Amino acid sequence: MTRQEIEKDWEWLFSNVCETLHSFDKEEDITEFVIKKIESVMATNQECQDFEDEDSKSFKITMDKFHQLFNLPRDEKLVNYYSCSYWKGKIPRQGRMYLSVNYCCFHAYILGLETKICIRWSDVIVLGKTNSVLFPDSIKVAIRGKEHYFSMFLRKAETFNLMEQLADLAAKRLIDERRGFNEDKDLLSKLSKNVPKKPSFLKRDLDARAHSEAYRLLFRLPHTEKLDGSIDCTLMTPYNKRHVSGRLFLSQNYICFDSRVKGQVSLIIPLRDVKLVEKMETSASNPSLDKAIIITTKNTIDKTAFLFAQILDRDFLVQKLSELLARTNDLIFGRSNGGGDAQLQTVEFAWKCQPPLMTLFPLTVIPDVLKKQKEKELKWESHFNVYGRGISMYRTTDISKLVLDGIPDSLRMDIWMAFSGAANEKATHPGYYKSLVNQALLQQSTANDEIERDLHRSLPEHLAFQNDTGIDALRRVLCAYALKNPNIGYCQAMNIVASVLLIYCAEEEAFWLLATLCENLLPDYYNTKVVGAVVDQGILDDLLSENMPNLHAKLVKLGMLNMISLSWFLTIFLSVMPYESAVNVIDCFFYDGAKVIFQVALMILKLNQEELLNCRDEGEAMQLLADYLMGVHNDDGRGAIRNKSYDDQQRKIRVQDLIYKAYTNFGTISTGVIEKFRLKHRLKVVQELEANFENNAIRSVASDGYMTSIELQSLLNIIREEYLSQKKMMSEKNDPAL
């Protein structure tokens, strides 16, 4: 901005705004008015620009045609269109597929015959690629009672991915009504280079979402993290003095690196830890240090610097980095201020954050266990010396091995915090937990009542929870979370998870781990219909039928797969295994993501396959598995003393062996595989829920005899149609981005 421009704006303000200011009495009012005025002017200007930049002219013409053809409101946003054919009976009709935010449409007009199809994404039950004699190489879209087949796409993979994404967004909106569709306007102002022209702004937005999603999964970052860009480079790995080639990723809060060779090394640096970014002088003698930068972190224990080299577009990256860094510093400053204010407003309760409860309520020492813990600590310490410690350690296969063997009790908290990303959440929200607790304890709510009832049944075998100190800490963590996330509130099973977190972690850390678990690792698990857990149950069913078809058939016959797996998923085995064994699974879970639960679940079933196949009824099978799981033991850890029958349990398998076998037998089940499955099952589960709900409603009303079930069904369809379009409008009205 030049001085001239500033003066011009000032003149405008002076002539347009100052006149009206006389009508105010108070000075505060004047200030407020002026701020509002400037804000609104900025907003309108922004909008004008957006409209110019968003979409090309030709795309707008198509969009108009799309609205006309299908008689859709003008605010229905078209994402993209593709040429393809639709199978009407045995005849393919060549035409165009239009994909919009809420609909999948098709139109063909050949030889006077018109074909028009309009499917709402939120009605889709199955979306898949098929290849049959009748419908060769097609995309199948199924809604209740009807299937549609499309084929002859020019870019089938791209089309299918987009369809999947749109259907998934629709399903997620049905799960969580408040989750509207927000276009990401940040993208418009984003400083980018070499971005190929995309047909529509929305398509660009959706592509960016997909990339961010993949990025977050790769590094297990918070669900709000948006990928800014990525670039090829090398990372200097000091532990073996090599330059590893790979890719550097940049988002609002993180710099990440992943080696080209999978698993070789990865690195996560939170931007808030970054102290300095420097360009290195290029030296002719060492070509591997060409175009290098050094990132220094604020790590107080041992000053750490990371060296990236061979960055083709180094200047751009550095510019980008300094831009993001400037924003990060503002953010932390702003937030910590906000936290301070909130504290002043609420009543201070007399409580303090508890340290890990295992330190307050130590269990009687078993020499063997203590020795093993010490040995492990030594191993981890020497690992830290080589690869660094905390979030920004170099993550190699060496650490995977250590994690698989179980993290020592004393290090659990720090490692869990680092791997899960909860450490970053805690660091960027100082004072937040405290103010949440103070507010939550003041409140009367159903969530609080439900929590109260469950406090004593969470981990009753541990001394810490036979005591007010532990119970109070558990209450605070759960009530604070219920207040933080009213969408979830409180769901049973969260108490079991939280109580174990509190054994190993300090109170505030336990809170952030619980939040990360609920929001990132196990999405929608604890909401009012535990949809996420039901989705994952469906995935386990699929995986089992793929891997052990005989056992799958048997369990289906006994009707028991869903009986056993609910608690496995909701409590990550904590409610079915001795907790000191289950925490080893949680070690892997925080390190490797939710896929671990599937691997371990499948391994448990595989190890019991023969016996399960011989079970006569579901009770016998349930007992078998319950006994087996209680027999998963951990000689390196030590649990609380339990009742006699518990200690009499047979020792079935070392938890370390179980985990190791799970990884080797089911290594192909990656996070990516699980995400693909989740997408497919989410559609199905959401539709089943809706259908169930409708059937129940019809059944309870039909008994009145005024209308037949069929009449009621069609009435319901009309209401649903209206309701969905209403909801759509509401969500768009409430959408701050629009």
Contact positions vs other proteins (CB under 8 A): 450, 453-454, 456-461, 466, 491-493, 495-496, 526-530, 534, 559-560, 562-564, 566-567, 570-571, 575, 616-619, 622-623, 626, 643, 645, 692, 695, 699, 703
CA dist list (Å): 738 to 59, 180, 535, 729: 20, 11, 32, 12
Query: Cβ 455 to other proteins, closest distance in Å?
Result: 10
Alpha helices in 71-152 (DSSP H): none
Q: Which is nearer to other proteins, 327 or 699 (CB)?
A: 699
Query: Cβ 678 to other proteins, closest distance in Å?
Result: 18
Q: Which is nearer to other proteins, 491 or 517 (CB)?
A: 491
Task: Quickly list DSSP for 28-56.
Answer: HHHHHHHHHHHHHHHHHHHHHHHHHHH--
Query: Cβ 513 to other proteins, closest distance in Å?
Result: 19
Q: Which is nearer to other proteins, 206 or 574 (CB)?
A: 574
Query: Cβ 680 to other proteins, closest distance in Å?
Result: 20
**Torsion sign over Cα 462, 463, 464, 465:** positive
Question: Which distant-in-sequence residues (6+ apart) come within 8 Å of 394 by Cβ?
Answer: 237, 239, 265, 267, 387, 388
Q: Which is nearer to other proteins, 77 or 682 (CB)?
A: 682
Total Cβ atoms within 10 A of residue 444: 6
Q: Which is nearer to other proteins, 136 or 619 (CB)?
A: 619
Query: Cβ 449 to other proteins, closest distance in Å?
Result: 11
Query: Cβ 375 to other proteins, closest distance in Å?
Result: 31
Query: Cβ 354 to other proteins, closest distance in Å?
Result: 20
Question: Which distant-in-sequence residues (6+ apart) come within 8 Å of 483 by Cβ?
Answer: 436, 439, 440, 443, 447
Query: Cβ 222 to other proteins, closest distance in Å?
Result: 25
Question: Which distant-in-sequence residues (6+ apart) come within 8 Å of 264 by Cβ?
Answer: 244, 246, 396, 397
Query: Cβ 652 to other proteins, closest distance in Å?
Result: 19
Query: Cβ 390 to other proteins, closest distance in Å?
Result: 34
Q: Which is nearer to other proteins, 524 or 592 (CB)?
A: 524
Q: Which is nearer to other proteins, 354 or 527 (CB)?
A: 527
Q: Which is nearer to other proteins, 266 or 495 (CB)?
A: 495
Query: What is the C-alpha to C-alpha distance for residues 447 and 451, in angstroms, rounded to an integer?
Result: 6
Query: What is the C-alpha to C-alpha distance for residues 736 and 729, in angstroms, rounded to an integer?
Result: 13
Phi, psi values for residue 99, rounded to 5°: -110, 120
Q: Which is nearer to other proteins, 112 or 705 (CB)?
A: 705
Q: Are strands 242-251 and 254-259 parallel, antiparallel or unpaired?
A: antiparallel
Query: What is the C-alpha to C-alpha distance for residues 362 and 631, in angstroms, rounded to an integer?
Result: 23
3-state helix, strand, coil in the chain (%, to 5): 60, 15, 30
Query: What is the C-alpha to C-alpha distance for residues 378 and 375, in angstroms, rounded to an integer?
Result: 5
Would you state the structure tokens that stand for residue 125, as one six-digit string? Answer: 């039950």
Total Cβ atoms within 10 A of residue 468: 9
Query: Cβ 604 to other proteins, closest distance in Å?
Result: 16
Q: Which is nearer to other proteins, 179 or 453 (CB)?
A: 453
Helix (H) or strand (E) holding 350: none
Query: Cβ 544 to other proteins, closest distance in Å?
Result: 16
Query: Cβ 266 to other proteins, closest distance in Å?
Result: 34
- Picking from 261, 278, 277, the residue whose alpha carbon sits closest to that of residue 269 is 277
CA dist list (Å): 521 to 170, 506, 533: 21, 20, 12
Q: Give residue 681's Cα distance to chain centre.
A: 16
Q: Which is nearer to other proteins, 139 or 612 (CB)?
A: 612
Q: Which is nearer to other proteins, 270 or 538 (CB)?
A: 538
| Cβ–Cβ under 8 Å, residues 443 and 476 | no
Query: DSSP strand E in 622-688: where?
Result: 632-633, 653-654
Q: Which is nearer to other proteins, 35 or 553 (CB)?
A: 553
Query: Cβ 530 to other proteins, closest distance in Å?
Result: 5
Q: Which is nearer to other proteins, 673 or 707 (CB)?
A: 707
Query: What is the C-alpha to C-alpha distance for residues 8 and 22, in angstroms, rounded to an integer?
Result: 23
Q: What DSSP character marks residue 594?
A: T
CA dist list (Å): 105 to 162, 191, 723: 13, 34, 21
Beta bridge partners of 110: 113
